[in-house]
């Protein structure tokens, strides 16, 4: 079983569980994204919801990326990390007055607006401050991303964005609002999209909508197609960096951008997913009636994706090169859903062995909780450990 390159001797003295980030891989991934977007003049806003570790945010901000935020506290985290307000976009179906006021005070680049009531509230709050808020309409294009039902966002049944049938009302509403300025359209069809061909129907829909809006006398300076590009959870060693070249080329080929329009992206998982691993220690190897359990000190409080999404994470026994055996790899939480893998082939496990749960850089540390009064896992970086 081919394993990642981990400084296991240094790990032995660190209390587990903890997150470990490969700083060099993150650097190379950002370099690749910058190179591919530069070819076409595209703009990238890192989706902070994927991972808001302060050091990761600071590094991404230092590379000139913008930020995609979905809460007021994410906006604060972005500003604290060095992202300029002029590159921050703010999405979310339930923006509160407090969050909107914060964004207005900071003069962020754009609100991605998801409903008529939200448009009216932003206009009202902006008027009180004597400001004009830049907004983009988040449109639900009814495009199937063919991903897990919990992380698809672009179908008509989802809570996100304006439905196509409500766009006439949106235009009429905007004509009455003097403290918002419509600058763009925003889309996001889902997450962990492995087949990039599903973005072709999105491009077709954007082209159709641009034509329709222009027939109503409405034009846009900005088009934002969100993110959602997936990573290879099965083979993180073989595919450490997604195929950004094919991804951005698809949009370049299929989107009919108007002269002077800027195209924005909001990638998150594909940027940070592969650089992170959850390191955990074997507490017990327990023989059951029909299976053997490897009980580790990490649980669903540290990495909830397997319990929440039935998600797969490659698991490596960093301490053993013995022949593989089959185990259920489980955590200590008092829930039957606290399972990382069932009937999983792993190099023979022993008490105190160190295991790595790979591809945990996205929606890992950021979703950790203190259920069972557990501690939030610490984070370490390859260039600082």
Q: Residue 73 sits in a domain of what CATH number?
A: 3.20.20.10
Residue 148: predicted pLDDT: 41
Instruction: Report if residue 56 sits inside a domain.
Output: yes
Last residue of a domain, one of 217, 247, 273: 273
Contacts of 61 (CB under 8 A, 6+ apart): 67, 78, 81, 82, 83
Q: Are residues 114 and 259 in the same domain?
A: yes
Backbone angles phi, psi at 279, to 5 degrees: -100, 125
Instruction: Report if residue 147 sits inside a domain.
Output: yes
Residues (pLDDT < 50) of the chain are 147-156
Residue 158: predicted pLDDT: 56
Instruction: Report if residue 63 sits inside a domain.
Output: yes
Instruction: Report if residue 213 sits inside a domain.
Output: yes
Last residue of a domain, one of 236, 251, 273: 273
Q: Are residues 47 and 165 in the same domain?
A: yes
Total number of domains constituting the chain: 2
From residue 222, alpha-carbon distances to 112, 135, 137, 260 in Å are 11, 10, 11, 9
Give the Cα separation of 104 and 19 in Å (integer).
Answer: 35
Instruction: Report if residue 1 sits inside a domain.
Output: no
Q: Are residues 220 and 352 in the same domain?
A: no
Instruction: Report if residue 3 sits inside a domain.
Output: no
* Cis geometry, peptide bond prior to residue 17 (ω within 30 degrees of 0): yes
What count of other Cβ atoms lies within 10 Å of the Cβ of residue 166?
16
Residue 144: predicted pLDDT: 56
Q: Are residues 219 and 306 in the same domain?
A: no
Q: What is the CATH number of the domain that holds 319?
A: 2.40.37.10
Give the Cα separation of 143 and 199 in Å (integer).
Answer: 9
Q: Are residues 51 and 130 in the same domain?
A: yes
Give the Cα separation of 242 and 158 in Å (integer).
Answer: 27
Residue 12: predicted pLDDT: 87
- Token pair, residue 65, equals 């990326």
Q: Are residues 297 and 358 in the same domain?
A: yes
Evaluated on CA atoms 186, 46, 160, 118, the torsion sign reads negative
The range of the structural domain enclosing residue 134 comes to 23-273
Q: Are residues 205 and 64 in the same domain?
A: yes
Q: Are residues 202 and 242 in the same domain?
A: yes
Residue 179: predicted pLDDT: 98
Global confidence as pTM: 0.94
Instruction: Report if residue 110 sits inside a domain.
Output: yes
Q: Are residues 72 and 116 in the same domain?
A: yes
Q: Are residues 297 and 247 in the same domain?
A: no
Last residue of a domain, one of 217, 248, 273: 273
Backbone angles phi, psi at 220, to 5 degrees: -135, 145
The per-residue pLDDT for range 186-207, each reduced to its tens digit, is 999 988 999 999 999 999 999 9
Q: Are residues 286 and 250 in the same domain?
A: no
Q: Are residues 94 and 216 in the same domain?
A: yes
Instruction: Report if residue 2 sits inside a domain.
Output: no
Residue 141: predicted pLDDT: 83
């Amino acid at each position: 079983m081919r394993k990642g390159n981990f400084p296991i001797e240094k790990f032995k003295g660190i209390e587990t569980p903890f997150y470990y980030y490969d700083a060099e891989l993150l650097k190379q991934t950002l370099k690749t994204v910058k190179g591919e977007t530069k070819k076409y003049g595209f703009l990238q806003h890192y989706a902070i919801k994927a991972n808001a570790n302060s050091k990761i945010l600071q590094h991404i901000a230092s590379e000139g990326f913008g930020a995609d935020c979905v809460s007021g506290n994410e906006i604060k985290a972005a500003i604290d990390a060095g992202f300029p307000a002029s590159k921050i976009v703010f999405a979310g179906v339930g923006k509160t007055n407090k969050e909107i006021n914060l964004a207005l005070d900071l003069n962020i680049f754009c609100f991605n607006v998801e409903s008529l009531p939200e448009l009216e509230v932003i206009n009202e709050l902006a008027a009180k401050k004597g400001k004009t808020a830049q907004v983009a309409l988040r449109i639900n294009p009814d495009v199937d991303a063919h991903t897990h039902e919990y992380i698809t966002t672009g179908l008509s049944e989802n809570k996100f964005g304006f439905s196509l049938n409500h766009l006439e009302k949106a235009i009429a509403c905007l004509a009455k609002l003097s403290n918002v300025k419509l600058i763009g359209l925003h889309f996001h069809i889902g997450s962990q999209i492995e087949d990039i061909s599903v973005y072709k129907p999105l491009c077709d829909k954007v082209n159709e909508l641009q034509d329709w809006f222009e027939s109503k006398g409405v034009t846009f300076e900005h088009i934002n197609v969100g993110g959602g590009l997936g990573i290879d959870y099965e083979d993180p060693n073989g595919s450490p960096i997604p195929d950004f070249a094919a991804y951005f080329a698809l949009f370049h080929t299929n989107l009919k951008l108007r002269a002077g329009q800027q195209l924005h992206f909001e990638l998150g998982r594909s940027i940070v997913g592969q650089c992170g691993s959850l390191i955990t220690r074997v507490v017990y190897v327990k023989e059951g009636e029909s299976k053997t359990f490897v009980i580790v000190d990490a649980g669903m409080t540290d990495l909830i994706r397997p319990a929440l999404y039935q998600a797969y994470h490659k698991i490596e026994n960093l301490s053993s090169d013995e022949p593989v055996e089959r185990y259920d790899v489980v955590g200590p939480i008092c829930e039957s859903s606290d399972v990382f893998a069932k009937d999983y082939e792993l190099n023979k496990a022993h008490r105190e062995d160190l295991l790595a749960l790979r591809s945990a850089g996205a929606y890992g540390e950021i979703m950790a909780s203190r259920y069972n009064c557990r501690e939030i896992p610490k984070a370490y970086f390859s260039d600082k450990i």
